[in-house]
Amino acid sequence: MRRVALMAVVLATCCACGAGPSLRPAVAVEGRTDGSPAQSEGPSPDAPPVDPGVPTDDIPWRDCTGTSLADQALAASSAGVILECAEFSAPIDVTGAIDGNFTAGLTRARTSSTPANAYPIVFTSGTDRSSGNSLAMLATSGLTTVLADHPVVALDRRGIDRSTAIDCMTPEIRRGLHDLGQFDADSTGDAADAVAALGHDATIACTDYLDPQELKFGADSAAEDIDALRTRWGVETIALWSAGSGSDIALSYAAAHPDNLARLILDSPAPVATDAATEAESRVQGEEAALTAFAQRCVALGCSLGPDPKKAVTDLMERARADEFQPLSAAAVSNAISASLWTAGTNREQETRSLSDALSALGTGNASPIRERAARAENEVDGDGQFIGRCTDGMQWPGIGRVRELADTWGTNYPVFGREAALGLLACASWPSTANSPLPNQLKPAVLVLSGQGDPAVGNSGLSTVTGVVTNAGSRFATLDWQGAGHPAAQSTCAQQAMRAYLTDASLPSNGSVCPA
């Protein structure tokens, strides 16, 4: 593989609440009966909060025509949201050990009435999707409650989408990983062997391509990119909102720059400091819960999948695993379904019918609708930059023997998503190990933590891990649980109302509050 000093050479040249059934019994929007926030040794709740700064040197913004967000910007405008794009130059390595800069991509969401002098909220979604794509999705499904007071600025993680996207794999390796080796296994091996081999080849290709910057794509480096944006703006403190795996970045930022953080929202956080298999199982549990909610909506609507939609989907996955839809793999079908379950949206009934019809068409021999969804999912959630970021952040990737055990167990416990999730763990098994991203030992602002019961991106087990980190860092926090399905929880207007109050004066809802589906 040709070695390319990607960042140092190439890059330096680039100068509501969702409709549908609840996953729990219906409840009102209530907090716990004691109404008390979590207790800790943190700053006094009576101390006046420090407000984030308003940029003194803002970045030139333009419309997103000609970018990967052009179509979404058009859709957002119909929802009353203006999406704008910009770039700025950030250092590859803040220590100076590696020279050069790269171009970081920004997306700003606002409305025509968002105050011009309001401080911005920095948004990161980590490796789940590009931050700009995630923000655009939220904008089209309804984000106006938050945008009434503040613009939101999404920063794509380095190597992903508009932050100098990486293209390091051959098409054959990339296709093989997308299909999890389903069509690569030869007579002497199985899918696990095939994925392990593909992951090894991808690791060699990408580390060779990135050398010597291959270890500069972790959450800690992404956190420094956020601080580069803060410095570019000329402000002392920022408001930071993370979704999903972006929580790793947000907590890394809090650890490295405790004095520069004035607000912190951890929305649908991924498990922190957790081994890769446990994190993957959390995601699978969220996917299965989101699919259950979809099936309930489907039955209520009399959709095309019949009286038992979940069984119909399970049967389709078994047919896909038996190569019946080749060249469409089981992994591609699984990813298409999962990505389709992210958005609660303003028209969930229409999306439920659309996904049902696409799956029904697959069952009768028309794979085109699902193939289109699979291609979109691969583009949005499975790029080379995301592979690098996930492998760098992941901890204790299991070997082939353990993955085979998990594939059997998860295949039984989680029949739609489990087997593919287990096999996917082998993609990163050859990636070089890195030090864990640091966690904060002090947090000055109180923290708002949102979670969802049916989260197909990360599941819900990250809640206890991040609240543990916040408690150990000596800060107050409050959790708010959205009982709907989708990712992130900020799709809920109820959750946005809590965000709006918190962003105004750092006030927290009662700990353990609930937002209905």
What mean pLDDT is reported for the chain? 89
Report DSSP letters for 197-248, one per residue. HHHHHHHHHHHHHHTT-TTS-SHHHHHHHHHHHHHHHT-S-EEEEEEETHHH
Reported as a single tens digit per residue, the pLDDT across 341-385 is 998 766 788 999 999 999 999 999 999 999 999 999 999 999 999
Domain, as residue range, for 133? 1-26+52-517
If one counts the domains in the chain, the total is 1
Reported as a single tens digit per residue, the pLDDT across 10-67 is 333 333 333 333 333 333 333 433 333 344 434 455 567 889 999 998 899 999 877 8
343 in any annotated domain: yes
88 in any annotated domain: yes
- C-alpha 68, offset from chain centre: 17
Strand 101-110 to strand 82-91: parallel, antiparallel, or no bridges (unpaired)? Answer: antiparallel
CA distance 302 to 299: 5
Q: Regarding predicted confidence, which is higher, 293 or 20?
A: 293
Q: Degrees (nearest 5) of the Cα angle 93, 383, 410?
A: 110
Q: By C-alpha distance, which of 87, 156, 107 is closest to 128?
A: 156
In this model, does residue 338 exceed pLDDT 70? yes
The CATH number that applies at residue 351 is 3.40.50.1820
The residues near 48 (Cβ < 8 Å, ≥ 6 apart) are none
Q: Let me know how long the chain is.
A: 517
Reported as a single tens digit per residue, the pLDDT across 186-244 is 545 689 999 999 999 999 999 999 998 888 899 999 999 999 999 999 999 999 999 99
Q: What count of other Cβ atoms lies within 10 Å of the Cβ of residue 322?
A: 10
Reported in sequence order, the residue ranges of 270-313 that DSSP labels E, i.e. its strands, are none
197 in any annotated domain: yes
- What is the 8-class DSSP label of residue 396? S
41 in any annotated domain: no
Per-residue confidence (pLDDT) for residue 47, from 0 to 100:
63
Reported as a single tens digit per residue, the pLDDT across 87-139 is 999 999 888 888 889 999 999 999 999 999 999 999 999 999 999 999 999 98
Residue 154 carries which side chain, given as an amino acid letter? Answer: A
Residue 263 has phi, psi (to 5 degrees) of -140, 145
31 in any annotated domain: no
CB 161 within 8 A of CB 68: yes
Q: By C-alpha distance, which of 127, 126, 193 is closest to 429?
A: 193
32 in any annotated domain: no
The residues near 452 (Cβ < 8 Å, ≥ 6 apart) are 268, 286, 460, 481, 482, 483, 484, 485, 486, 487, 488, 489
Proportion of the chain above pLDDT 90, given as a percent: 78
CB 17 within 8 A of CB 517: yes
3-state secondary structure 106-160: EEEEECCCCCCCCCCEEEECCCCCCHHHHHHHHHHHCCHHHHCCCCEEEECCCCC
36 in any annotated domain: no
278 in any annotated domain: yes
CB 468 within 8 A of CB 479: no
CB 250 within 8 A of CB 276: no
